[in-house]
Amino acid sequence: MKLSRRQIYLFLACVAPIGKLVVLPTELVREAKNDLLLPVAIHFLVQAAVIFCVLLLGRRERGLYEILEGTFGRVFAKICMVTLSLFLLLAGLVPLIEQQLFVQGVFYDTLPSVIAYAPFFVFAAYLASKPLAHMGRVWDILAPLFAVGLLGILLLSVGSADYAALLPIGASGTGFLKSTLSASVWFFDAPLLLLLLGKFEYREGMAWKGALCYLGGGLAVLFFLATFYGIFEETAINQIFAFSKTAKYFSGITVLGRIDYIFVYALALVLAFYTVLPAQCAIDGVVQAFGSPRHLQTILSAGIFLGYFVLSLVFDYSFFALLKFMTKALVYLFPVFATLIPALLLTLGRQP
Amino acid sequence: MKFRHFVKTIPMKLYIIVAAVLLFAFFSNDFGLVDIQKTAVILAAGIDRSGEDFRLTAQLAVPKGSDRTTGGTSSVEIKTEGKTVSDCITQIFTDTGWVPKLVFCNLIVLGEEAAKEDTISYLNYFLRNEYMPDSCLLAVCEGTAEKLITSQSAIDDASSLAIAKLFSDAAEKSGYVMPNTLKDFAIGYYGVSKSSYLPYLRTMPQDGAQTPSSGTQPSPQEEEQQKIYTAKHTALFSEGRMTALLSPEETLAFSLLKGKVSAGTFNAEAEGKPVTLTLLEDEGKISLQKDPTKAKLSVSVMVRFCCSGTTAPIEEISSDEVTKETLKSAEEVLKGYLSSMWEKATEGGCDLLGLRKSLYRSSLKKYAEYKNMLPHAVTPQIEVNVASMK
């Protein structure tokens, strides 16, 4: 089973941006303040360029492991795949715990028990045990959900936003540079795409179309961020779980109730599948490297999500410590794995 | 064959079941259940200072069945005292066994003395609380918040519900009430203007208010005179402290500048006699000039004749048009209100019109130069244009 080009475009435009709408907006404001659009614009541009390169690699119609093996040999290729998988597992931890806190904080009026969220890990383990190429159909369904969800939220929010709050540009000084670095933790879409190599058929123009789709999704995120800051201004730093917050000031809500939750739930559903994806790609990386012995994928999937479940219990009350560790100590891994390596593969991997 | 097919489709069935369980968990929202016997649903909170401590008066919605069920909502007031607001909220639980739930809290009232201290020192509890809606209305009251919250409303069972009616969209359009929310107050405080405003509540005894029906013994609370509330005054805040109070006329001027009025009335003069004009449209503009020590406040309104205190022939009554002389008088009246509002705000050190914010957004360099001079060193140029509906 292969992914169609449409499914790749939909993933880039409508699934990849969702991870940037939960905690990232608040974290951006911490350093970049009203310049919060700049770090995100930089990341989207850089990732779009890398995605262009990765999609060009798709011309070879080979999986990542095959490309690496053809260039560096079997052992090094295996090491690379395992390292990349470990990176993806690490990168996937933040969105996973973000989502847990989001569900507990937004969908419940009081802090629910851990059990309320536990079924997600069962669902995620099952999903991750499925071949990555099967995700195309899921993205077909998620893309309209994302589009309707985000559009609905934006429509309900724009009236409450004062976009002049984004002025003056550059007020944060070097704050936006610090923010650009820490925001790297949320931008690892190119390595996800690396694992999809060989699972789709490349056609002329796919690289730039894919990059454009990603930029389209990026524009939607930027517009959302502008609206978010326009609504909360200096207090935006206190507004975690951004996409559930902006629409609640719509005047009709006092009469109709939280109708914005229809759109919030739609986005939450997209988020649920997105948060599984890094682990799913990581498992696929290992399977590519070691073939697919019987039940390897299922065992890996169960083990990984059991581990994630334990970590989610550990970090349930210390998410910000984890975030600090990721954005200060481990952040340097992200430009290497999410930008440098995928971009370099295009130049290094010229093997028949 | 059938069995094999069944076994083959097990994963898909499992997938659907697990997905359904996940969705159920996601969407359940605790099944939306609020156990009213265990939960204190806080409708409003009043905050006062008691020396170094805080005094919190929470109005809780209670299950019907008590002796106060004559109307739509029954309520009870709980008073607690503590070192912080959080302390006070916790005490509601320890004193009553009810778990306080702030998700329905739609009004926070600050006592006058409490408002004169740094309000964020106690409002921060509500800003931090994820379950507290920051669209919650915020107001200051004359005297103590405790007295206001515990007062008997003449128009509703719960005082907080009666007060919330004062802040409706319709009331805001009249120009005599300037509601504010926790979120916008916080934005004002943490923004470069460091200023904000809140409606100022007063209670007035309501003569002739309904007394309990005959045959039943009135409780001491019912014996207390019922009250109505007004919020025509506006309290001004600088760096979180209440520093000035706008009169109803000055509140109207502020509303006009904000461009929020479309149904209010005000008085002018025609041939030396008072007349009332209805405001139909309003456009307010505040702009700093190139020299940031000069600001232009302009208000353009469209009015129609509402009524006069004199007898008039039927031809005059059938016309809504306002004479030029009355329009001029109206302009003078509004100019006076605007000027008085400006003086009060600057005397209180309140950057009510957000001049510092405007300057910050337009030029960081000029902001650095002038930020300490705004708004008190600014000379306002007030322009009012009153036009009559044709």
> Which CATH number is A192's domain given?
1.20.1740.10
ipTM above 0.95, yes or no: no
B252 and B359, same domain (yes or no): yes
- pLDDT at res. B214: 44
Greater confidence (B141 vs B129) lies with B141
Q: Contact at 8 Å (CB) between A108 and A261?
A: no
Lowest mean pLDDT among A13-27, A141-155, A186-200, A290-304: A290-304
Q: Which residue type occupies B125?
A: Y
Selection from A274-278, B20-24, B79-83 with the highest mean pLDDT:
A274-278
Q: Is residue A172 part of a domain?
A: yes
CATH number at residue B297: 3.30.300.210
- pLDDT at res. B209: 52
Q: Is residue A94 part of a domain?
A: yes
Mean pLDDT across B339-368: 92
Residue B168 forms contact with A (CB below 8 Å):
no
Q: What is the pLDDT of residues A219-247, one digit of tens each?
A: 999 999 999 999 999 999 989 899 999 99
- Residue owning tokens 């649903």: B41
Tokens of A345: 């593969």
Of all residues in chain B, the one with the smallest CA distance to A169 is B361
Residue B21 forms contact with A (CB below 8 Å):
yes
Last residue within a domain, chosen from B225, B246, B267:
B246
Q: Is residue B6 part of a domain?
A: no
- Whether B22 shows a pLDDT value over 70: the answer reads no
Which residues form the domain of A129?
A: 5-347
Mean pLDDT across A73-90: 94
Last residue within a domain, chosen from B246, B262, B287:
B246
Distance (Å, whole) CA B88 – CA B352: 32
- Tell the burial category of B76 from Cβ atoms under 10 Å away from its Cβ (0-12, 13-18, 19+): middle
Residue B47 in 3-state DSSP?
strand
Radius of gyration of chain B (CA): 27
B325 and B223, same domain (yes or no): no
* Residues of B in Cβ contact (< 8 Å) with A171: 360, 364
Q: How many domains does chain B have?
A: 2
- Tell the burial category of B159 from Cβ atoms under 10 Å away from its Cβ (0-12, 13-18, 19+): buried
What distance separates the 2 farthest-apart alpha carbons in chain A?
65
Q: Is residue A146 part of a domain?
A: yes
Q: Is residue B30 part of a domain?
A: no
Residue ranges of chain A whose CB lies within 8 Å of a chain B CB:
103, 105, 107-110, 112, 116-117, 119-120, 122-123, 126-127, 164-165, 167-168, 170-171, 232-235, 238, 240, 248-249, 251, 265, 268-269, 272
Pairing of strands B75-82, B53-61: antiparallel
- Residue owning tokens 């961020």: A225
Distance (Å, whole) CA A276 – CA A296: 18
- pLDDT at res. B224: 67
B259 and B229, same domain (yes or no): no
- Cβ contact, residue pair A235, B29, below 8 Å: no
Residue B93 forms contact with A (CB below 8 Å):
no
Q: Is residue B3 part of a domain?
A: no
B49 and B110, same domain (yes or no): yes
**φ/ψ of residue B177, rounded to 5:** -135, 130
B82 and B179, same domain (yes or no): yes
Instruction: Give me the helices (H) in chain B, please.
Output: 2-8, 10-28, 85-96, 112-115, 120-128, 145-150, 159-166, 169-174, 182-190, 220-223, 248-258, 314-317, 324-347, 355-362, 364-370
Last residue within a domain, chosen from B229, B246, B263:
B246
Distance (Å, whole) CA B352 – CA B184: 13
In the structure, what pLDDT confidence band is assigned to residue B255 with cuts at 50, 70 and 90? very high
Pairing of strands B39-50, B137-141: unpaired
Through-space distance between the first and last CA atoms of chain B, rounded to whole angstroms: 86
- pLDDT at res. A352: 44
- Whether B271 shows a pLDDT value over 50: the answer reads yes
Return mean pLDDT, chain B: 83
Q: What is the pLDDT of residues A43-52, one digit of tens each?
A: 999 999 999 9
Residue B248 forms contact with A (CB below 8 Å):
no
- pLDDT at res. B25: 64
Q: How far is CA B17 from the centre of its chain?
A: 48
Return mean pLDDT, chain A: 90
Q: What is the pLDDT of residues A51-68, one digit of tens each?
A: 999 999 988 888 899 989
- Whether A349 shows a pLDDT value over 60: the answer reads no
Q: What is the pLDDT of residues A83-97, one digit of tens each?
A: 999 999 999 999 999
Residue B292 in 3-state DSSP?
coil
Q: Is residue A352 part of a domain?
A: no
- pLDDT at res. B213: 45
* Residues of B in Cβ contact (< 8 Å) with A157: none
- pLDDT at res. A20: 95
- pLDDT at res. B16: 73
B275 and B241, same domain (yes or no): no
Distance (Å, whole) CA A142 – CA A145: 5
B73 and B220, same domain (yes or no): yes
B347 and B380, same domain (yes or no): yes
Out of B18, B26, B191, name the one closest to residue A107 (CB).
B26
Query: What is the H or E stretch that residue A120 is in?
Result: helix A119-128
Cβ contacts of A256 within 8 Å, gap of 6 or more: none
- Cβ contact, residue pair A235, B128, below 8 Å: no
Which residues form the domain of B230?
A: 35-246
Q: What is the pLDDT of residues B152-192, one digit of tens each?
A: 888 888 888 899 889 988 888 888 899 999 999 999 999 99
- Whether A275 shows a pLDDT value over 50: the answer reads yes
Share of chain A above pLDDT 90, in %: 62
Counting other chains too, the contacts that B3-11 makes at CB distance below 8 Å and 24 or more residues apart are B11/A126
- Whether B212 shows a pLDDT value over 60: the answer reads no
- Tell the burial category of A228 from Cβ atoms under 10 Å away from its Cβ (0-12, 13-18, 19+): buried
Spell out the SS3 assignment of B156-188. Answer: CCCHHHHHHHHCCHHHHHHCCCCCEEHHHHHHH
B197 and B269, same domain (yes or no): no
Mean pLDDT across A114-123: 81
- Cβ contact, residue pair B30, A234, below 8 Å: no
- Whether A348 shows a pLDDT value over 70: the answer reads no
Q: How many domains does chain A have?
A: 1
- Whether B219 shows a pLDDT value over 50: the answer reads yes
